[in-house]
Structure 1
Amino acid sequence: MHLKDQSDRKVADFPKELPNILEPEIEEDAEESEANLPVPSDLDLVQRYIREANRFSLLTPEEEKALTTLFHETGDRETGSHLVTSNLRLVIKIALEFQKYWMKNLLDLIQEGNIGLMHAIRKFDPYRGIKLSYYASFWIKAYILKFIMDNWKLVKIGTTQSQRKLFYNLKREKEKLRSQGFEPGPKLLAEVLNVREEEVVEMDQRLGAWELSLDAPLKDGSDEYHKNFLPATEPQVEEMLADAELKNLFRRKLGEFRTELNDKELDILDLRLLAEKPMTLQEIGARHHISRERVRQIEDRLIKRLRQYLKNEIADWEDYRTPMGD
């Protein structure tokens, strides 16, 4: 998935940014000076944003089909805005999942997610038989993930090999040790993950900090809670972040590895190992006038070469789940 829009279709009238739903409407004859107004906290702004987003109705399947088709065919500005505002709650859900990995304002993640939402709406094809929310969720997550990873130096997560290892594996190792009957304290975790004890403590504090309480109401006296915005079942965020970095790194190194291969090996890599519907050994053999057994031998050797290449090129490769099935 590329974050840069590859669509050739121009939608000149589609809004480049969302209307600011947090901007208060000020009467022309209002006399109260803006300087006298209290400055809202980040949490106040988040709660206010969520309340305002809830004012926009969700679409029925029939409405979504009609609006996405109209926008796809005409690029109508008002239709595009309607599709965006009716899906703001989806962005909030996803941003809340990633919140503990961003140690600043949740609205930063919501803003990036909104950009991903608008990108998804521009690219969405209503004739492919999938829901807009399902399609958009991938773009929303991609933009939020990219934002977090681009700003790791600012939040000081993942700047060293040890920190990356902890970031990806700390929660998983805690659960694993508990299941084995151990108390996952910093000392034991440091030994298991081969890092310093103080690094475990530091990362544990970071991952546990700056998280809105999911049991806290959106406002005093409200029956709605932050946890109501979370989806019932979603992949672990740690795994998504690990996969995002790994896939980017793997793609780069795979491109370098390809330059070392001959035509037979390239075909086996592309048409067998990386293909969604791999060719059979017989089909590959027929293309190159060699036997099925010879194709199998080349494939086995190629897999070993690729694994070794990745281990040599990526220092902590074995700390990740590899796409080669290791």
Structure 2
Amino acid sequence: MSKKLATTDNTKKSTVKAAKVTKIAKASNSVAALPALVNTKSTELEIVDRVLNRGPVLPTTTSQDPLTQYVKEISRYKLLTIEEEEMLIKEMKDSGDIEVAKKLVLANLRLVVKIALEYRSAWQNVMDLIQEGNIGLMKAVSKYDSTKGAKLSYYASWWIRSYILKFILDNFRLVKIGTTNEQKKLFFNLLKEKERLIGMGINPDNKMISSTLGVSEKSVAVMDRRLGSGGSELSIEARLDDDGPSLGDSLTNQDEIPVDERLGDLQGVEILRDHLKSFLADLKERDREIFEKRLLSEVPASLQSIADQYGVSRERIRQIEERLINNLKVYMSEFIR
């Protein structure tokens, strides 16, 4: 039976807003359980708690900012020597024990923070990026195969970056639209709530979601249109050929090309600036103008105003916008390969 850990907050300052964290009942003892835990999409703290089956990583009340306190807490877990890591990896492969996988995850939490900080120019809240990076780290541990020749940290770096970049790309067009508390609440919770309800076999209509999240049906409908359908994962899972290994599986020895050198040009804002410029340069004039007015403007033009400008329907402009967003994701993914 899970236990609810009550949170306390004796100050009114803008300190860590630690949510009530539910300790998960003892998980499966198999490493195969990691992907299921990864896919729960909890907060970065809950993710680690869920994998570790322990209390919250952060204290419930603190005067420090979340990042500082998070780094302080994860620093308690020592880094592994090469020999220790190899021993744990062999043990995990032989036994499939999730307890061994937990040790590997803990030892690499600093790596997630390091990589997430590289993208802080592209996303204001670095804890969001750490959350996604932690998911990528656990995915990497669950899929790691030492016989492929890549060191775990090198292999994990690809997964961590993949999840962080996917998060940035998926939310790129929405960075500027969450201005009110209701919009922000929907932005961060709508898709998760939909996934939760679908997982329970419930059709998530706007009325049900508005009731669950405590917002208006109209706001749910508006944000649902803005979010659109979820994008596919980045190409780390893509097969290099029909019968061959995936990109992640094909990574070779880490000594051939240092991670920082190979991925250095993919850091943060450069992706959203330099590659975006190239993407825009290849668009037709009408598509470029629609993209700029709808997705790059501080105050996005309405679909109707653009439709009137080009003498087409509002729905047609929406379709063009959706196509451009999907094309951008594909275009950006090519640089992440």
TM range (shorter): 0.3 to 0.5
- The higher radius of gyration belongs to 1
- The TM-score normalised by the length of structure 1 is 0.42
